[in-house]
Chain A
C-alpha cells in the first residue's frame, strides 16, 4: 500500500510539473489538461459507487448541481468561486444523502433508472425556474483566475487529489471489504455484519460530493452554461465509460481510462479521415473493449506486464469480479 501511495505521489509531482515543461503557455493544451483532470475526478467518483455494485446515471447531474451552485453563489452572494466550491460540496452532500436514502432498496437497472430520473428532474428544475437560474438562457460568471489556465490547472489538481483520496481511501480501509461484500451479495453481506445501509449511503454521498466538485470547477472555467449543457447525459456516460474501459474497482483504472479515451477522442476529432466519424470509432472501441478486454486496460497491463500491474494496487486474492448478470437463479 505504501508503494502504491508513493507511486501516486510521484504521479502527482509529474502532473504538477506539466506546465513547467513549456506546455504552460499553450492555452489549447492547458485547456485539454484542465478538462482531463476534471474528467479523471468524475470517473474516479463514479467508480467508487460502482464498487457497491450500483450503476449510477446521476453523476452528470451532480456535476451540473455543482456548476449551478457556484454560479448561483456568485450571482446572489458575489461568492468567489473558491468559496463556491465548499458550498457546492455541501449542496452535493445533502442532495446525495437524500437520494441515497431514498434509493436504498433499488438494485441494478432500477437504481440506474431512478438515478436517471433524478437527473432529468434536476435538469427540468433548472430549466423551469428562470427567475432563479436564468432558465434556458443559462447562467454566466467571470472566468476563474481571470482565464489563467495554469492557475486553474492547480485547482483542478486539488480536486483530482480529493477524488484520489476517496478512491484510495475506500480501497485501503475496511470499507473495501464492506463494498466488495455488498457487491457480491447484499443479503449475505448484511448477515456477515456489514452495515449495508451506512456503507451504501456514505459511499454514494462521498462519491457525489467529488462529482459535484468537478462541476463546481467547470462553471467558472467555462464561464457559461445552461441546463442543457450542465445536465447533459453525456457526462454521466463519460463518468462510466472511462472507468469501465480503464478497469473497474481500481484507482488507476478510471485515471487510465480517462486519459486514453479523452486523448483518443480529441485525436480523432481533429484527424482526417476520422474527423467526422470519431464518435463511431468511440462506440466501436467500447464494444470491442467490453468484448475482448473485460478487465479494462488495466486488466491488460496486469496480464502482460505483471510487475507494472503490481504497482497499480493488486486485487485481493479471490476477488469478486462483480454481480452475476440478469435476474435468474
Chain B
C-alpha cells in the first residue's frame, strides 16, 4: 500500500486542472444553459497561446527554458483576455440568436464550432504535436514520501487559485450574484431588473477565459496539438454532470472525487490504466441512473 499516499496526492493535484476546465463549462451550462461542445477546443487555443508565449520568451528573448513561471504569470492573463473577447464575440454572433430555440440547435452549433475550430487549427497550425521543453516541468520537489514535479504542483496551485477566485466572484460580487440569479431563474432575474443579455455575454466570455487559462496549464502537462480538445471535453462534461446542472460550487467536489477515483482505479484495479476511461464512464453512468440530477441538488 505504499503507493496509496502518492495515489491520493496525485489524484488531488490532478483534480485542480480538471476543476478549472470543468468550471468554465459549468458556467456556460449553468448560467446560460448552453451545452458548449467546443469548450475543449478553447482549452486547446489557450494551450497554443501559452506555447507561443514560451517560444517567444525562451527563443527570441533569449530567456531560456527557465521561463516556466513567466509563462504562467503572463500566459494566463494573456490567454484569459484573448479568450474572453473571443467568447463575447462568439456569443454575440452565434449563440445569442439561438437562445430561444431548442437545445438541440445549440448543441449542434457548438458542435459545429468544435469541428470548425479544431480543423482550422490543423490547417493553420499544423497537426504536429508540440512539446514545450520547459525545464521546470521536470524538476522534482519532495513532498513527504513522494516527489512531484514543480509543474504538477504549479498546475494545481494556480488552477485552485483561479477556481477559488471565480467562486469568490460568484459569491460576493455584483456580477456574480447576477449570474447566479440568472442561473436560477431567468424570468425572475429580468423582473428584478438584471440585464440578462449582458450577463449571458459576460458569462460566456468568462467560460472561455477559464478554458484558456486551463489550456495554458496544459502546456506543462502534455503535448500541445489541435486534438487536445477531444481529450479534455469528455472529462469536463462528466464532472459537470456529476456536480449537477447549474451547480457551480459542486464542480470542485466533483473534480476532487473524480480525480481521486481515477487514480485509485488506475492504481488498484487490475488492468486499470487501460480500463480507466471506460470505468470512469461507468461510474458516471451509474451515478446518473441513481441520481438523475447529479450528486447535489442545484442551488444558487
Contacts and interface: CB of A to CB of B under 8 A. Distances in A.
Note whether A and B contact each other (Cβ less than 8 A). yes
Interface of A: 50, 55, 102-103, 105-110, 112-114, 116-118, 120-121, 123-125, 127-128, 237, 240-241, 244, 248, 276-277, 279-280, 282-287, 289-291, 294, 321-329
B29 interface: yes
B172 interface: no
10 contacts: A105-B289, A120-B281, A128-B278, A276-B123, A280-B123, A282-B115, A284-B112, A287-B109, A324-B102, A325-B106
Nearest to B184: A328
B238 to A, nearest CB: 7
Given A50-B104, A325-B106, A117 B284 contact: yes
A279 B103 CA distance: 24
B185 A323 contact: no
Contacts of A322: 101-105
- Classify chain B's interface size: 35 or more
B265 interface: no
A128 B275 contact: yes
B187 A328 contact: yes
Contacts of B119: 277, 279-280, 282-283
Nearest to A123: B278
Interface of chain A: mostly helix, strand, loop or mixed = helix
B241 A329 contact: no
A294 B123 CA distance: 29
Given A248-B104, A325-B103, A326-B103, A102 B112 contact: no
Given A326-B33, A328-B186, A329-B185, A240 B102 contact: no
Given A291-B109, A327-B245, A113 B186 contact: no
A110 B292 contact: yes
A110 B104 contact: no
A218 to B, nearest CB: 23
A103 B274 CA distance: 26
Contact of A128 (B97, B271, B284): B271
